[in-house]
Amino acid sequence: MSQTITVQPDYNITVSSSDVLKDELLRHIREGADHIVVDFSQVKIIDSTGLSVLISTHNTIKDKHPLELVNVSDDIKKLLAITRLDKHFQVN
């Protein structure tokens, strides 16, 4: 049975903060989550280190369900398009 979890970071996901998100996502995966939704409503900026955390998470769970991102700003959608990650993640 699929276990869905939603994570809502309330900080910008950059090199100085991405470990916080990484630890939270890893904890949910260890606890059995296989459908992870990241709510970006409070995230204004994500850099390549933050994107790397999302890629690692996606690679771990993608056989069950691609990583899902919701409430993504137009700026961050642009970044996902530049990196072509919008072809891999489910972006809403």
Partner 1 sequence: MLMYNVNRTKNGLQFEFSSNYVYVDKTVESCINFVRERSLDISEFDLSIALHEVLSNAVRHGNKEDPTKNVLCNLFWEKDMLQIEVRDEGQGLSSGDAMKRKSGVLEPHGMGMSIIEGLDFECHYVCEKNIVLLKKKVKVHSN
* Residue 41 interacting with partner 1 (CB under 8 A): no
Alpha-carbon distance of 73 to 27, in angstroms, equals: 26
- Residue among 29, 45, 61, 70 that touches partner 1 (CB under 8 A): 45
Residue bearing tokens 């700003």? 73
Q: Does 60 bind partner 1 (CB under 8 A)?
A: no
Hey, what are 91's tokens?
Answer: 């972006």
Q: Is 76 helix (H, G, I), strand (E, B) or coil?
A: helix
Which is closer to partner 1, CB of 3 or CB of 75? Answer: 75
- Which residues of this protein are in contact with partner 1, per CB under 8 A? 14-16, 44-45, 47-49, 51-53, 55-56, 58-59, 75, 79, 82-85, 88
